[in-house]
Homo-oligomer: A and B are copies of this chain.
Amino acid sequence: MANPKYKKAPLVVIKRLTKYYRYLGDLSNTGIERVSSSYLSEKMGCTASQIRQDLNFFGGFGQQGYGYHVKQLSNAIGDILGLDRKYSVIILGAGYLGHALAKYSNFSKRGFVFTGIFDINPDLIGTKVGDLTVMHTDDLIDFCKSKKPDIAVFALPKTASPELAEQLVNLGIKGFWNFSHMDIQTSKNVPVENVHLSESLMTLAYRINNEEDEQ
């Protein structure tokens, strides 16, 4: 499944790749065709050396004396990240967070297509979220069997049952995007990307109290 053209990179590199991808998209939108590692490094607040090191890990995308071709590089990074295919995504939890994610158009632009949204709250079942209709969680298994989604989003406020993740993996879910408090663990080694909002906010609190006046 991995793009055999590129060797596997450490996660720190990948996280930075997603940032480069965003900046390159911005540059492309403003019509800029070429960019140097030093220009990008200044914009992004990192070292030019790091950018070149990161990119060179996957092969030579640049040209001496010229720099990098913005669109070409952007496409290459897209390929590395796996954005050259589509992902069917289901959302578990049709609260405000589920809504926010389902309606955020940037995701679909990158190939993430929301195909189902589920909840247990009877007031929500049948209501519309964009193009989708909220389904009952009882229908989740049947849905997965027939539609084979790739990614499951845990947008539930509280902890879901731990067995649910295991069940979903057996139904073919290949990755989890987890906004819930719960830790997701499955017998198969399926990747889980956690977005722990409280942890992010607490980090901000620390920084507010400890970074001021710093340059």
Contact = CB atoms under 8 A, between A and B. Distances in A.
Q: Which 9 A-B pairs have the closest CB atoms?
A: A96-B100, A191-B207, A18-B199, A193-B204, A97-B100, A96-B99, A82-B209, A82-B205, A175-B208
A187 to B, nearest CB: 11
Contacts of A197: 101, 104, 107, 195
Given A200-B195, A201-B177, A211-B191, A206 B96 contact: no
A112 B191 contact: no
User: Size range of the interface on A?
Assistant: 35 or more
A196 B191 CA distance: 19
A191 B209 CA distance: 10
A207 B176 CA distance: 10
Contacts of A213: 189
A42 interface: no
